[in-house]
C-alpha cells in the first residue's frame, strides 16, 4: 500500500469535506470554514493520497511570528486506518510548526477518543486542561493538549521518511521541509 502527503489545494475541498463529515458527523466544519482554512496564509494543510484518492488530511494554524500554534484537525478515512498514516500526518505538522518557530503546540481531542489521545501522548503532548461538554451535540469534553517544541528539531524531510517503522523520524536531525512525503507500507500495515 502506498501513500503520499502533499500540500492541500482548493481542488481538494470536496474530498476533504467527505472525510470531514464521515470523521466528525456531529460537529463537522462547514465547506466555507474549510475553504477559508485552506486559503489562510497562517496555516498549512496537508492531504494524504493513497491509490489516487484523498485518504486523510490534517491542518496546522501557526501565524508568522507567533510562538504558539494549533493543530486544527487530523482525519484518516476509516478504511485507511491502522497503517500509521495519522502519525505521519501529525509528525509532518509538528515538523512544520518547528520550522515556523512554534514553541508551544496545542490541540483538542475528544475525551471519548483514546486512540487519538495515545497517539498524541506518544508524540510528546500532555493534557493541560479540559473543556467540559465542548463537542456538541454529543456533550463530550475536549481534552486540551500541549507539546513543548522548544527543544525539538524538525525530524526529517518528507523525502527521508517513508512511514515504515524502521524509517520513523529521528528527533536528532534538523532539516528543511520541501515537498511530498511518501509512504510505502506492506499490506496490512502497522499501528
Query: Which position among 45, 57, 108, 135 bears the catalytic label?
Result: 108
Inside any domain, residue 134: yes
120 annotated active-site: yes
Query: Which position among 120, 123, 159, 160 bears the catalytic label?
Result: 120
Inside any domain, residue 42: yes
Inside any domain, residue 100: yes
CATH code of the domain containing 84: 3.40.630.30
Strand, helix or coil for residue 103: coil
Inside any domain, residue 86: yes
User: Looking at the 3D structure of the chain, how many domains does it have?
Assistant: 1
Enclosing domain of residue 80: 2-153
Inside any domain, residue 184: no
Q: Would you list the DSSP string of 5-29? A: EEE--GGGHHHHHHHHHHHSTTTPP
* pLDDT (tens place) for every residue of the chain, 191 residues total: 688 899 999 999 999 999 999 999 998 999 999 999 999 999 999 999 999 999 999 999 999 889 999 999 999 999 889 889 999 999 999 999 999 999 999 999 999 999 999 999 999 999 999 999 999 999 999 999 999 999 887 665 544 444 443 444 433 222 223 234 434 333 333 33
CA distance 190 to 120: 17
108 annotated active-site: yes
Inside any domain, residue 186: no
CB 19 within 8 A of CB 27: no
Q: Which three cell numbers stand for residue 22?
A: 464521515
Inside any domain, residue 30: yes
Inside any domain, residue 45: yes
Task: Give the predicted TM-score (pTM) of the model.
Answer: 0.80
Amino acid at each position: 500500500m502506498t501513500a503520499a502527503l502533499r500540500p492541500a489545494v482548493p481542488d481538494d475541498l470536496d474530498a476533504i469535506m467527505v472525510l470531514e463529515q464521515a470523521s466528525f458527523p456531529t460537529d463537522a466544519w462547514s465547506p466555507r470554514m474549510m475553504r477559508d482554512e485552506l486559503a489562510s496564509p497562517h496555516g498549512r494543510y496537508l492531504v494524504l493520497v493513497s491509490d489516487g484518492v484523498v485518504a486523510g488530511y490534517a491542518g496546522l494554524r501557526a501565524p508568522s511570528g507567533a510562538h504558539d500554534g494549533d493543530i486544527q484537525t487530523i482525519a484518516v478515512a476509516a478504511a485507511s486506518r491502522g497503517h500509521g498514516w495519522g502519525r505521519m500526518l501529525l509528525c509532518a505538522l509538528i515538523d512544520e510548526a518547528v520550522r515556523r518557530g512554534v514553541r508551544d503546540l496545542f490541540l483538542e481531542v475528544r475525551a471519548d477518543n483514546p486512540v487519538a489521545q495515545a497517539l498524541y501522548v506518544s508524540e510528546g503532548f500532555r493534557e493541560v486542561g479540559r473543556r467540559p461538554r465542548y463537542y456538541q451535540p454529543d456533550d463530550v469534553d475536549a481534552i486540551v493538549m500541549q507539546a513543548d517544541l522548544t527543544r525539538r528539531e524538525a525530524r526529517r524531510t518528507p523525502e527521508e521518511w517513508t512511514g515504515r517503522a524502521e524509517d520513523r523520524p529521528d528527533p536528532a536531525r534538523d532539516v528543511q521541509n520541501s515537498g511530498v512525503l511518501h509512504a510505502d507500507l506492506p499490506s496490512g500495515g502497522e499501528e
